[in-house]
A and B are shown apart, each in its own frame.
Chain A
Amino acid sequence: MISAETLIYLFMALAGIGSTVSVYYAVIEKDLIKAVIYSAIQSTFYALLYFLLMAPDIVLVYLPVAVGLIPGVLILLISKTERVEQDEESV
């Protein structure tokens, strides 16, 4: 039987792996809207990590700022400029 402490460490490890996967997709993605959404997913995993690391008042500030406000203004900028990152040969 798995203990509760091990279960918490398991959730922390899963949040770390999930954040790394979403950072990788955010870096290699050509469509900038999708990159912003992957970055928001990474922020959600970090918020879970803060909560499990016994710092719950960081979550209260970090969650609306990093999941709501920063992707919001980035999507506003993308809607006013260009959406797709160009390849090397088309420049």
Chain B
Amino acid sequence: MINPEFLNTYLLSIVIFSLLLNTALALYGIFYKPHYIKKVICLTILSDTANTFAIYIGYRRWLNDGTINPRPPVLPTTEVSPGVLSQFLARAVDPLPQALVLTAVVIGLAVTVFLIFLGHQLYLHYGTLDMRRIRKLKG
């Protein structure tokens, strides 16, 4: 029988590893993919991953019962009682990172819309959105 504490920590480390992998894939897409729209898509993925990291580390109190890896708490019940609510208030994500991420999501939308209009103007001017072709079209 697997120790449940070990299983929880293992499952949580999968989340961290997949977020790091997402960051690497998004950076690869931004730097090495030649198409403008693909670069914009990868930029939105990168900002979403950064926001998820900010939420991930933003807990008020991490469960640390003497183990090496502390884990963020979860509520394993749907019942609403004063005890559960006070537990939620004591341990949920802090309001400051939540407000930061909320603002970052909306500003990211504004930046993406600006980049999309920039891409439309680029297409009207050069007739293509491929960066390799635009590099050849000097003057």
Contacts and interface: CB of A to CB of B under 8 A. Distances in A.
Q: Chain A contact residues: over half helix, strand or loop, or mixed?
A: helix
B116 A16 contact: no
Contacts of B116: 73-74, 76-77
B interface, size bucket: 35 or more
Given A12-B12, A77-B37, A91-B133, A27 B25 contact: yes
A50 B52 contact: yes
B63 to A, nearest CB: 10
Given A12-B11, A32-B35, A35-B38, A19 B132 contact: no
A51 to B, nearest CB: 11
A66 B22 contact: no
Interface residues of A, number: 51
Contact of B76 (A8, A27, A70, A85): A8
Given A9-B8, A43-B48, A70-B44, A54 B133 contact: no
A16 B25 CA distance: 14
B75 A54 contact: yes
Interface in B16-62: 17-19, 21-22, 25-26, 28-29, 33-35, 37-38, 40-42, 44-45, 48, 51-52, 55-56, 58-59
Contacts of B98: 55, 57-58
B85 interface: no
A68 B34 CA distance: 26
B113 to A, nearest CB: 6
19 contacts: A12-B12, A13-B12, A15-B15, A16-B14, A26-B45, A39-B44, A43-B48, A49-B15, A52-B74, A53-B93, A54-B92, A57-B102, A58-B102, A61-B102, A65-B105, A81-B37, A81-B120, A82-B129, A91-B133
Interface of A: 3-10, 12-13, 15-17, 19-20, 23-24, 26-27, 32, 35-36, 39, 42-43, 46, 49-50, 52-55, 57-58, 61-62, 65-66, 69-70, 73-74, 76-78, 80-82, 85-86, 91
